[in-house]
Amino acid sequence: MTDMPSPSAPLKIGTRGSPLALAQAHETRARLSAAFDLPEAAFEICVIKTTGDDRSLIDADRPLKEIGNKGLFTKEIEEALLEGRIDIAVHSMKDMPTFQPEGLILDCNLPREDVRDAFICPAYRSLHDLPQGAVVGTSSLRRRAQLLHRRPDLKVVEFRGNLQTRLKKLGDGVAAATFLACAGLNRLGMTEVPAAPIATEDMLPAVAQGAIGIERRSDDARTQRMLASVHDAPTGDRLAAERAFLAALDGSCETPIAGLAEIDGDQLRLRGEILKTDGSAAFAGEIRGPVAEGADLGRRLAADLLGRAGPGFLAHKA
């Protein structure tokens, strides 16, 4: 391939500045470097501050949906990509809106990490062990609703911030327990955190949890060819089903939504769940079919859940 990146003209990788975001950007750089036998200096990691990184918003412990939710962690990075200040953008896929701005495309995924949620609690081993009335912290509408649906006796408080911030709050006694994604803990090598993975049968994860996406300009042929070399097709197939499911539900995160696709041979199994924000009602289901029909399976499962939930379910506010 001609016109390859070099230390004098590096390919610029845009990312947020959190430790997890940087770990994902470093993984992207390492995979591209290995794929094309290029030095790491041929890739420049560019940190971009997003609205979701604003300390005043994090410290205020305002619910994400009051600030803007989807797009909080992507808008400024995508603007830099469109303006040509960076060449690619590395994202946590669960943060990504289901539609990209005109001129951008998201068609590269790295191999998916552990999709499960982790129960984080120094004093108790599992969610079931928490005493009645215990305080649990989370900023996730999905986790809040799933928790209250299973344990309505618990008190759930807003728990904003990156992984390190939330662990500090837990240590400070703001809550007895919280949840983190196993993928983040694994990517950061945080084996010292008292984490108990939760089976997906007990708590279905967020759509695209554990997946990294790499966004590019749609007219950038060189970058398209480079990213194709590191794209993980099974992860892409799973996300196609999950994100179609999310898109059909509007995917605004005003309503708690969970979804997970798994592949066995040429068959795909997609599970989904929608809940009221207060946990008072939930509808779950699954669908199976050919991997190639993943997006259609996602739309069909969304229609099934919406049909069973009835009119107005998605508009519910706690």
d(CA 108, CA 211): 10
Closest CA to 282 of 208, 179, 207, 203: 203
Closest CA to 189 of 53, 28, 34, 19: 19
* Residue-wise DSSP of 238-265: HHHHHHHHHHHTT--SSS-EEEEEEEET
Catalytic: which of 53, 87, 95, 237?
95
Q: Which residues contact 287 (CB under 8 A, 6 or more apart)?
A: 269, 270, 297, 300, 301, 304
Please, where are the H alpha helices in 38-102?
A: 55-60, 64-67, 75-82
If one counts every other C-beta atom within 10 angstroms of the C-beta of residue 257, the result is 26
The overall longest dimension of the chain from CA atoms, in Å, is: 64
Closest CA to 70 of 104, 98, 49, 110: 98
Distances (CA, A) of 91 to 17, 25, 32, 210, 222: 11, 8, 16, 11, 20
- 87 catalytic? Reply is no
CB 19 within 8 A of CB 163: yes
Active site residues: 95
